[in-house]
Structure 1
Amino acid sequence: MNPYLSYNREQWSELRNSVPMTLTSEDLKELQGINEHLLMDEVTEIYLPLSRLLNLYVAARQSRNQVLHQFFSPHHSEKDEKSPPFIIGIAGSVAVGKSTTARLLKALLSRWENHPKVELITTDGFLRPNQTLLDHDLMTKKGFPESYDTKRLVTFLNDVKAGKRNVEAPVYSHITYNITDEVKVVDQPDVLIIEGLNVLQSSHDYPDAHLKMFISDFLDFSIYVDAESKTIEDWYISRFMKLRQGAFTKPGSYFSHYTELTEAQSITKAQSIWQTINGVNLEQNILPTKGRAQLILRKGVGHQVEEILLRK
């Protein structure tokens, strides 16, 4: 039996229920990814209904928290203690557009009155430093389960969920392709969105980690951004070619040597990286977690969502 309810774009858009559009076309330009052209129709038909659904989930959790607070502390004001944040996980392959989905949902969810403080963290910040990966011969396994400091990531989520103040998360640079000295401070948000390749992985995916909890244990709602593997490969190659003209040319770029390749050589290189690293990671470690998601956004070749699957 299929555990998901399936909706096409038209059916899903009807569930918007008059939620107002709060983003402008300029907002969308800032939110879209390198290889995407984010249309207002996509936001209206797909992401506004999704933000409404998530708002209902958050409101239900807030009501539950209030009930528990009243039960345990009937003589204290509800304002005495900050409720734990609602945590949303967004998973999917490299180049599938999960970062854009995360930024878009952050922008939309922060406009709801009952949870205006929304933070976004990516699991890239919890990758092990390049030197550590080099020491353990893992540079070609970047993004695979073994390349993350999972213990630190779990500790971060545990602290945020416990309501601790000013919890620090490391910051990753896609220019230097490494962890930076910066930190992002998360201070008791209403909603925390965590986005990354490994968001839906569990202890079965980390057999040697000896950890009792994983990212998925902290999630209140999970989303998997999906597309055909060949389509994602095409998006990856297209994005690589655009980065070759953009981010790869910036001072300090780890990938600056790729700018010296011809166009044909660049395409060959991108195909090679996909087939030996990112495509392998997708098939072995990311795609098997799709069935754990509560909602799947299935995209077509034009980066537009064609089907929404919602767990019953």
Structure 2
Amino acid sequence: MSSQPFIIGIAGGTGSGKSTFTNRLKSIFGDQVTVLYYDNYYKAHDDMPFEQRKKINYDHPDAFETDLLLEHLKKLRNGEEIECPVYDYANHNRSGEVTVVKPSRIILLEGILVLADKRLRDMMDVKIYVEADADERILRRVMRDVKERGRDIENIADQYLTTVKPMHYLYVEPTRTYADLVINSGMNNVALDVMRTKISSLLEEK
């Protein structure tokens, strides 16, 4: 058996349920799986004032420091721990803190655009796309951004209409074609059972 990590990519639009699906797998397997969030790899913009950072297009592939994520995935694959950046949503910038992430047999890589970069896709063993109705996605995003990220409704609406919605159709939704598994919500129990069985068998191989 290969001792290299088994990498599962979990993509989907904002509010689609990909974090829910990821967290459900994490709650089943705990420390036996490592979770990496693509959002933590948003580029740092320390040189830019807050009002300017608010206007950045965060739903474009160029918003991410993908090279750093690739470097970190390679390290994890080689059995090395990494220092993952921590993103601060309220300030639209990296927090300056890092989280030490240790390698494990299973890596869950979650984010809206994890299937957009061929280099990332080539490192994945399974590619999952979580989809949901557009109305449901925007409602979930509004509730999440107000409750968890300290955003105001006007800012959320402006960001959604100017970047989130158009970028979803331009960059996120087309990556659905790369998925091995397309599921219709993070609460899809059939898909959860499929992945639970797969992960369990991989962990038992050890």
- Cα distance in structure 1, aligned partners of 2:164 and 2:33: 30
Q: Deviations over 1:204-242 (max 9, x none)?
A: xxxxxxxxxx211111112111012233223323444x4
Structure 1 residue 132, shift from structure 2 partner: 5.8
Structure 1 residue 85, shift from structure 2 partner: 1.1
Q: Which residue of 2 aligns with 1:124?
A: 39
Note if 1:108 corresponds to 2:28. yes
- Cα distance in structure 1, aligned partners of 2:58 and 2:187: 28
Identity across matched positions, percent: 25
RMSD between aligned residues: 2.6
Q: Which residue of 1 aligns with 2:7?
A: 87
Note if 1:161 corresponds to 2:77. yes
Matched residue pairs, number? 189
Q: What letter corresponds to residue 225 of structure 1 in structure 2?
A: V
Q: Which residue of 1 aligns with 2:111?
A: 196
Task: Note closer, same or farther for the CA distance 1:287–1:307 as it changes in structure 2 (3 Å cut).
Answer: farther
Which of 138, 144, 149 lines up with 1:233 in the alignment?
A: 138
Residue pairs, 1:296-311, within 5 angstroms: 296-299=182-185, 304-305=187-188
Q: Deviations over 1:20-64 (max 9, x none)?
A: xxxxxxxxxxxxxxxxxxxxxxxxxxxxxxxxxxxxxxxxxxxx3
- Cα distance in structure 1, aligned partners of 2:180 and 2:48: 33
Which of 170, 176, 186 lines up with 2:85 in the alignment?
A: 170
Residue ranges of structure 2 left out of the alignment (5+ in a row): 195-206
Q: What letter corresponds to residue 15 of structure 2 in structure 1?
A: A
Q: Which residue of 1 aligns with 2:124?
A: 219
Structure 1 residue 148, shift from structure 2 partner: 0.9
CA contact (8 A) 1:297 1:307 kept: no
- Cα distance in structure 1, aligned partners of 2:45 and 2:108: 25
Structure 1 residue 200, shift from structure 2 partner: 0.4
CA contact (8 A) 1:225 1:296 kept: yes
Task: Note closer, same or farther for the CA distance 1:275–1:172 as it changes in structure 2 (3 Å cut).
Answer: same
CA contact (8 A) 1:298 1:306 kept: no
Q: Deviations over 1:270-300 (max 9, x none)?
A: 433212111112111110001111111113x
Q: What letter corresponds to residue 142 of structure 1 in structure 2?
A: Y
Choose between structure 1 and 2 for higher RCO, CA contacts under 8 A separated by at least 6 residues. 2
CA contact (8 A) 1:298 1:305 kept: yes
Q: Which residue of 2 aligns with 1:292?
A: 178
TM-score by length of 2: 0.79
Q: What letter corresponds to residue 75 of structure 2 in structure 1?
A: D
Q: What letter corresponds to residue 104 of structure 1 in structure 2?
A: R
Structure 1 residue 269, shift from structure 2 partner: 5.0
TM-score by length of 1: 0.54
Structure 1 residue 306, shift from structure 2 partner: 9.1
Report the structure number with the largest CA radius of gyration. 1
Which of 150, 159, 162 lines up with 2:66 in the alignment?
A: 150
Q: Which residue of 2 aligns with 1:72?
A: none
Which of 272, 278, 287 lines up with 2:164 in the alignment?
A: 278
Task: Note closer, same or farther for the CA distance 1:186–1:276 as it changes in structure 2 (3 Å cut).
Answer: same
**1:185 counterpart SS class:** strand
Q: Deviations over 1:161-218 (max 9, x none)?
A: 122x222211112233321222222222121111111110125xxxxxxxxxx21111
Q: Which residue of 2 aligns with 1:98?
A: 18
CA contact (8 A) 1:127 1:143 kept: no
**2:108 counterpart SS class:** strand
Q: Deviations over 1:90-129 (max 9, x none)?
A: 111112221121111112134xxxxx62111101111111
- Cα distance in structure 2, aligned partners of 1:187 and 1:235: 31
Residue ranges of structure 1 left out of the alignment (5+ in a row): 1-63, 66-82, 111-115, 204-213, 249-254, 259-265
Task: Note closer, same or farther for the CA distance 1:270–1:184 as it changes in structure 2 (3 Å cut).
Answer: closer
